[in-house]
Amino acid sequence: MIEFKTEVKELLPYDRKQYLLLNKWYGASFQLSNDAKEITSPEFILNYEPLLKKLIEQLDNGYAWIANHDYKYKNWFPNEDNTLISLRDLFKKNNIPNTFIGALVFSKDELLKFTRDLISYPHAVFDQKEILYNDIDISNNKIPFVIKISGHMNIDLLSTDMELLKKIVNSNSSGNFIIKEYRGTQL
């Protein structure tokens, strides 16, 4: 199941305005050590795609998953570039224009099929160095937990439930990632 929704306020398990202010939210950023070298897109995908898939499996509760732009809705595809082929094909197959503004609603299995394009999205839309598009937030319909895919080549986890965040961070800590706590978060 994949749906395209222009109105998502009722679907999201959190208030976007509160979330954007990080009021009562805790967070942790999973970052790759760059050791003074630039992280490449293939390296980013190699490390973060398994993390995203594991997070989805851990947090899945049978309810819908929502992928949306983090703070300001924009056209999903502002160009006709030859990037993010699977995601662009999804839009074409469903007769959804590139100018669609809203959220994609997925079942777990469908979301897992698009993890590569979703983690690449913020920096791959334009396929130009140092030009980023919107970050993507992925959340489960019933859990106040956000997986933020950043154009700065990291994935952040945010939740109003500190214990849930701790549990998820601890079970996904590995030598590949440096984990940086958000201000006010103590893991």
pTM of the model: 0.92
Contact 108, 61 (CB under 8 A): no
pLDDT, residue 33, reads 78
What local confidence, expressed as pLDDT, does residue 117 receive?
96
Q: What is the pLDDT of residue 4?
A: 97
Each domain of the chain, given as residue ranges in start order, spans 2-181
So what's the pLDDT on residue 93?
Answer: 96
Q: Which residues of the chain have pLDDT under 50?
A: none
Q: What is the dihedral of CA 8, 11, 15, 19, to 10 degrees?
A: -80
- Tell me which residue has tokens 């942790």: 28
pLDDT score of 35: 67
